[in-house]
Amino acid sequence: MRVGLITAGSDSPGVNAAIRGFGKAVANTHDMEVLGFRDGYLGLVEDRKVNLLEGNMLSGILTQGGTILGTSRHLPERMPSPQGLVDRTQEAIESYHRNKLDALVIIGDNKSQLAAYHLSQAGLNIITMPKSCENDVPLTDKSIGFDTAREIATQAIDRLHTNANATHRIMLVELLGNCSGWLTMGAGLAAGADVILIPEIPYDFDVIIDAIHRRKAAGRNFSLVAVAEKARSKELVDFMELAASKRAENAEEQEKAFERIENNYSAQTLLLARRLGEATDLETHITILGSLVRGGTPTAADRLLANQLAEWSVKMAVEGQFGRMACRIDGSVTSVPLDQVAGKAKVIPPDHDWIRGSYRVGTCLGVSDLHCS
């Protein structure tokens, strides 16, 4: 059996552990050849590959961040070429068949899962594993990389907390979170942030200002605000929804119009810092963690998850379970159909324990009418 493996999309700690786990499981229990394609889907299209079981390819990579295969965000349907960005899906399919692959394993983020589903629909034998520092791949407890990213973010907020206290500042920490607030909420709660703002809950400036004023009145002349990069004020969301409704007729077109409009309002953390400073007479300071949380040594939890999903993916390949994503649900490793994952995102539900927990300990989430029992 000959299997291809790629790592696609944004980088996440623990991917090398998954590559190693897959290779080790194959080498020890199955007669299988594993070809690793470099730089994600782009390497598949361009047929740039290496035999992962030759030499010492898998030696010493368990604790390394990044991916030995490299990655890219290019998807087959929108990929660079001499003519610009074009659909190269057919080239990916031809590479699969030219290399006589029996299956293709894709370790990928949200958008990579959708591309994998499209290849599966085109007749390729596809297996995926979820990786995402933002934990936004649906139908899995955690994605590879989330635990490490949360730990790094928590440590960063811990350090900024002491600095905010010493300098009497409002410290704003911006974290990854394009459509979901798992990273911001998890790290914010763990580090005791005073305000946590996530995409799922559009915030009210006045509610945040009032929370900081109450802290000042209690003698705490500093505040720590953890904010996801795509957290938005209710005021802005209402405006964008109105604008989108005027530009499109049906719900699908309105959603696309909303996304286009939203791209024009990317500096919301800067605006938030300015308004908080003006309203509270406290100095504000922004720290953008960004890709910092994507690097470094993966935690033990991420290594264990990566190894579990990799071993399960080998089992799926041997048993012919294709068109599915290996995942962990309620602590047990299993798999789910790709059509239930593709094009979807995992967001924090309003009744989640983290939402209720933050409410009970007095953390401001930017709204005054949050009902938690």
The answer to whether the Cα torsion of 291, 70, 35, 304 is positive or negative is negative
What is the phi/psi pair of residue 191, to 5°? -95, 0
Q: What is the 3-state secondary structure (H, E, C) of 151-178?
A: HHHHHHHHHHHHHHHHHCEEEEEEECCC
CATH of domain 150-293+349-360: 3.40.50.460
Buried b (16+ CB within 10 A) or exposed e, 339-358: eebbeebbbbeeeeebbeeb
Q: How far is the first Cα of the chain from the last one, in angstroms, to the nearest whole number?
A: 53
Angle between helix 300-319 and 15-29 (nearest 10): 40
Domain boundaries, the chain: 2-145+298-340, 150-293+349-360
Beta-sheet strands, E only, within 64-193? 79-81, 84-86, 103-108, 126-130, 169-175
What local confidence, expressed as pLDDT, does residue 252 receive? 72
> Token match 């379970």: residue?
321
Neighbours of 293 (CB within 10 A): 26
Q: Hey, what CATH class is 2-145+298-340 in?
A: alpha beta
> What's residue 266's pLDDT?
64
Assess whether the region 2-145+298-340 and the region 150-293+349-360 belong to the same CATH fold.
yes
Pairing label, strands 324-329, 332-337: antiparallel
Number of other residues whose CB lies within 10 A of the CB of residue 285? 16
- pTM: predicted TM-score of the whole model, two decimal places: 0.93
Tokens, residue 52: 């992962």
What pLDDT is recorded for position 12?
97
Gap between the Cα atoms of 185 and 266, Å rounded: 20
Instruction: Kindly report the number of other CB atoms within 10 A of residue 248's CB atom.
Output: 16
Q: In which residue ranges of the chain is pLDDT below 70?
A: 257-258, 261-266, 370-373
Q: Are 15 and 62 in contact (CB under 8 A)?
A: no
The answer to whether the beta carbons of residues 153 and 187 sit under 8 Å apart is: yes
- Reported residue count of the chain is 373
In the numeric block, which tokens belong to residue 129?
């594993």
For Cα atoms 15, 21, 27, give the angle at the middle one, nearest 5 degrees: 140
Q: What is the reported pLDDT for 289?
A: 96
Identify the H or E element spanning 284: strand 283-288
Rounded to the nearest 5 percent, the helix, strand and coil shares of the chain are 45, 20, 35
Joined tokens for residue 68 = 């030995």
Task: Measure CA 337 to chain center.
Answer: 20
Q: Which of 140, 128, 114, 111 is nearest to 18 (CA)?
A: 128
Q: What pLDDT, in 10s, does the model give residues 163-221?
A: 999 999 999 999 999 899 999 999 999 999 999 999 999 999 999 999 999 999 999 99
